[in-house]
Chain A
Amino acid sequence: MKLILTALLLFSCLPQSLVAAEGVAVGQPIPKLAPLLPGAKIPDTAGKVVLVDFWASWCAPCKASFPCLNRLQAKYAAKGLVIIGIGVDDEAADFTKFATAMDAAFPLVHDSAHKSAAAFSPGTMPSSYLIDRKGVVRHIHNGFKGAKTEKEYIAEIEALLAEKP
């Protein structure tokens, strides 16, 4: 009996423990981006509010989110917001084509090896992480739901910008 119980316990815990071990959660510090994205130009994020957005050229909601991110960049960049768009396309050509078409006003970096994606483990595409001035993840957005998400972004960004570094 004891054996069966041990076996059942092990069996039920193993997959969950593996799932729980990965990704970035609210309240955790953001992983260092430079080693995860070798060769990419990453803007200085020290003391800034950072929005890390994971996107792909094959993902329709990602495409819909770009005008919103451009608006956020225009409105809040001067106040201390840094937006970093991480493209997870396999092909560099797809990344470049999409990036050109979207005309992003914020820096885009290509993560073809999926190193940073594996570190953050975004639950959906797109997924974005709002990080406060101290480098701690404060909000995670899974998916982009148009005006609703934009409203949430604005409220959260304004609150984070108001915090003292």
Chain B
Amino acid sequence: MEANNTTDKNISWLKSGWWLILLVAAGIAAPYVISEFYLLILGEALIMSLFALSFNLLFGHMGQLPFGQAAFYGLGGYGIAMLMTKFQINFWLSFLAGIGLAALAGLIIGIFCVRLRGIYFSILTLAFGQLIFVIIYKWHDFTGGDDGIQGVFPPEFLKTPIAYYYFVLLVFCIAAFILWRITNSPFGYILKAMRENSERTEFLGIPIARYQLTAFVISAAFAGLAGALWAPFYRSVAPSTLMWIKSGEPVMATILGGAGLFFGPVLGTFIITFFHAYILGFTHFWAIIMGTLILIVIFFLPGGILGFIKEKIDNRKKTDQ
């Protein structure tokens, strides 16, 4: 995991932060510049970016690859959808409950998963994720099975695409900031220490399993937040939001953008989401194109796009000195 080491170094061009302000300003101005179609894609990209960031907390920062994140994402969506449509509970409470449901599932599944590491961790998260998918898919009477749940509406003042977009942007910025703070806190540094050498970290007297479980629950909660944002955005949820193919999306977005940098997953998600929307314009065989793209990135851009750019900049600096 060579690429991961780059997070810890001082990266002046990333730390300066002016580009962040620029991006947020662009996000605020977007509804006045782009068409409604692309605004919806932009909203989707923000939600998916949050999902990818939740994944990268475990992958890029803790060094474990969960392949069942879609389960938490889907549970967030199902949580809000079911509470609103079946129990007529108001939007905000359902929204929070969706996140809570995902975090609770993360706690239960995490207890088993953090016992393992490496590829075994991936398999186990995948298996549990698929278990949740099957339960929701087969429990037709309660969850609607493969029909999903329709009619998940945001409150009146968020009903227009622009209003909901701003809501998504706001939540995304807050959530990304919290995740950023978490990764740069003492807790975040312990996660990184476990990534680099879990044995040594344990010898320092740090209870590894407890830290991993905490990170797992946080990650699940943020994935659930993304799902809870998605359901009212799309006005419905379907079991496909829980499937393992969905779990692969943050993996590929993160490796495309660069796992070693905090905003790598965001860049990767934006590229994939807009590329996907563009391709669907003329073919529905998008998976084969995506698969080929993944292979190309793995072969030619080992550190992801941001990693590649950073390497180029670092090289230039070296030659300047």
Q: Does A associate with B in a complex?
A: no
Chain B residues packing against A (C-beta within 8 Å): none
Chain A residues packing against B (C-beta within 8 Å): none
